[in-house]
């Protein structure tokens, strides 16, 4: 099971920054979940919200302008992947226009991409899964989630596509059924120690977490 830091180590650093990723990596996390948007120049950048702190649309700002507004360096996807080549990356596509920019970055990597590309925009992921061999997953946050419907949708793609569940709509029984059918499942949104204790026994491919202290066996990497 991969332990993935949600937007990096955000308790002491702005989320989706190189500093946040470095702190999570030092803590022993296997990788990071991050959010992909496109700036005014068509570049894939790491930023969660659709608007900047001053209300301006991210898509109408350059990377430098966005960084100045936020008060910290907003990284490009290319720079982040280059800074942590051994990390497992969960790249969440926040908008339709982020797909071409992300594909361009991944096509130019010196080594195969190590990670997962996910989105709430399911057509984006299904298209990506049909056209490439990149690892893909659908993000799920709304109940009810019917297994038969998931299998029907996944059957439209001639290879395995994963599922990333919000904890509040997930169940051990459904995760187990999907796992038996070779569908890799991920989980996010776990908060309480009792929840962690339960889900660590589920057959998950990975857990996206904000709380490293709840993860067993995690130890800091040597400096």
pLDDT at 143 over 90: no
What does the block give as tokens for 48? 């969660």
- Report pTM: 0.95
pLDDT at 124 over 90: yes
Report pLDDT digits (tens) over 146-201.
Answer: 998 889 989 999 889 999 999 999 999 999 999 999 999 999 999 999 999 999 99
User: Average per-residue pLDDT in the chain?
Assistant: 95
The sign one gets for the Cα dihedral 90, 93, 98, 99 is positive
């Amino acid at each position: 099971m991969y332990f993935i830091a949600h937007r990096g180590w955000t308790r002491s650093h702005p989320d989706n920054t190189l500093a946040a990723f470095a702190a999570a990596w030092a803590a022993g996390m296997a990788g990071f979940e991050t959010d992909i948007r496109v700036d005014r120049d068509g570049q894939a950048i790491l930023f969660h919200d659709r608007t900047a702190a001053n209300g301006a649309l991210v898509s109408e700002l350059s990377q430098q302008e966005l960084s100045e507004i936020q008060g910290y360096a907003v990284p490009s996807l290319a720079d982040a992947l280059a800074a942590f080549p051994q990390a497992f990356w969960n790249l969440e596509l926040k908008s339709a226009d982020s797909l071409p920019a992300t594909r361009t970055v991944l096509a130019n990597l010196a080594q195969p991409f190590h990670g997962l590309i996910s989105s709430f925009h399911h057509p984006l992921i299904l298209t990506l899964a049909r056209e490439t061999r990149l690892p893909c997953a659908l993000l799920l946050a709304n109940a009810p989630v019917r297994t038969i419907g998931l299998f029907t949708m996944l059957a439209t793609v001639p290879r395995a596509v994963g599922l990333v569940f919000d904890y509040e709509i997930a169940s051990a029984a459904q995760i187990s059924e999907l796992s038996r059918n070779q569908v890799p499942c991920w989980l996010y949104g776990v908060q309480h120690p009792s929840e962690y204790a339960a889900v660590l026994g589920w057959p998950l491919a990975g857990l996206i977490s904000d709380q490293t202290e709840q993860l067993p066996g995690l130890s800091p990497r040597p400096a």
